[in-house]
Amino acid sequence: MNNSVLKKNLGITTAISIVVGCVIGSGIFFKPQAIYSATHGAPGLGLIAWIITGIVSICGALTFAEIAIMFPRTGGIVTYLKEAFGETIGFLAGWIQVLVFYPAMISALAVAFSNQLSLFLKTDQYIIVIAIGCIIILAGMNSLGSKPAGRLQIIFTVSKLIPIVLLIIFGFIKGQNDAPLFSPMIGKDINTVVVLGQLMVSVLFAFEGWTGVGAIAGELKNPGKDLPRAIIGGVSIIMAIYLIINIAYLKVIPASSLAFLKAPAAAVAIKLFGNIGGKIIAVGIMISVFGACNGFLMSGSRVAFAMAQEETLPFSSYLSKLNKDKVPFYSIFLVALIGIIYSISGQFNLLTDLAVFSSWLFYTLTFIAVIKLRKDKSFIKREYKVPFYPIIPLIAVISGLFVVINQLFLSGIRSTVLSFASLGVLLLGYLYYKHFN
């Protein structure tokens, strides 16, 4: 039934928890290794990358909030780009989110969850099976209704902060590494601009997910008030947490050592608390990743639902239906099924690289849309306007272009292949839309 209406039963606490819950997943626990290996063990540029990328994300969030509050309807970026650039661009944004971005993020997080659980099982033979099981369980939970899923998200968000807080507190108290935090800035014989681009791509994965709350705007009790607060407040909290915990890491283990550790958070915990600390952090990481996976599944299924309501996706008559608990049952399981297929690869980094490029293509277009709509639809009343216009939107646009170009041409063969594969999916979507719509 295409006239189905989602219940408006999500408040500001759930909205912020979805932003924080989606973003704080696995990046903060795994990305320090990639960052400090790229700087050849130098801490300075690594910390600066967290700061710069945090500022970029806040500029993006400030910009994003304006268009999100103008059109507070379920669907997020799909809705915004339709208003700014027309039906085709809006459709392609939803197409890439449903087929690539959300399933890639869900599968990557499920694989990360499985990798952590394998430490307790003392075998990695069941990584793919566990990842698939994780997605199936979350799909079942989400089918019970948005309110239970939202409450579950709050629990995961609170739970995941516990190990982070412990690492921060005891890292500062017991850390004995007094080496300078910003010296050396970068290793020898490294191009600073190129490496900074690589670092930003890595860190942006750790910040990924802050737009997810826009996709559930239609279920917020008071979107005009709660949506900008959720986006801006959530990203600001995340930036502070990331910077502080990275300093705590460096107070325990130097960057030159973190560069060679695949599980830096667990290594820091072991040094602080002994072997039991590593297990505690592993449990915390699993909770964190599980919660992030839940947030992406909630948001991604709403994008599929919104598109199906407009009958632009295959099998829209099913995908637009709500079950007795007023949630898009078929859309949830579509996104989950694609995520299951992706998780068969078992490749965390490959899946995250795929997700980052596909998302920032349309984030950048969304930032441009804010500027375009200021001219084209100046008559629309704006309950919120991005401050310091047009400086902040331009920072967001330039940063987005930098990320896209870096992924296409400067980050190595794998990133280039994955990026052009995403463009291939976009081309298929364009051909489908023109033929069937």
Both tokens assigned to 198: 């690589």
Partners of 220 in the β-ladder: 10
Residue carrying the six token digits 């297929």: 341
State the residue for tokens 């994965």: 205
- 88-131 residue pLDDT tens: 999 999 899 999 999 999 999 899 888 888 877 877 788 899 99
Query: What is the third-level CATH fold of 12-378+388-436?
Result: Amino acid/polyamine transporter I (1.20.1740)
Q: What is the pLDDT of residues 395-405, one digit of tens each?
A: 999 999 988 88
Task: Tell me how far apart the alpha carbons of residues 402 and 201 are, in angstroms, rounded to a whole number.
Answer: 10
Pick 333 or 76 by higher pLDDT.
Answer: 333
**Residue closest to 332 by CA, chosen among 94, 127, 92, 144:** 144
Confidence of residue 218 (pLDDT cuts 50, 70, 90): low
Gyration radius of the chain's alpha carbons = 21
List pLDDT tens digits, range 147-193: 666 666 667 667 677 788 888 999 999 888 888 888 888 888 788 88
Question: What is the C-alpha separation between 220 and 215, in angstroms, rounded?
Answer: 10
CA distance 265 to 272: 11
Residue 2 pLDDT level (bands cut at 50, 70, 90): very low
User: Looking at the predicted structure, is the pLDDT value of residue 134 above 70?
Assistant: yes
Domain boundaries, the chain: 12-378+388-436
Closest C-alpha among 3, 151, 8, 154 to residue 72: 8
Instruction: Quote the pTM value.
Output: 0.80
pLDDT tens digits along 28-43? 887 888 899 889 899 9
Cα 157 vs. chain centroid, distance in angstroms?
A: 14
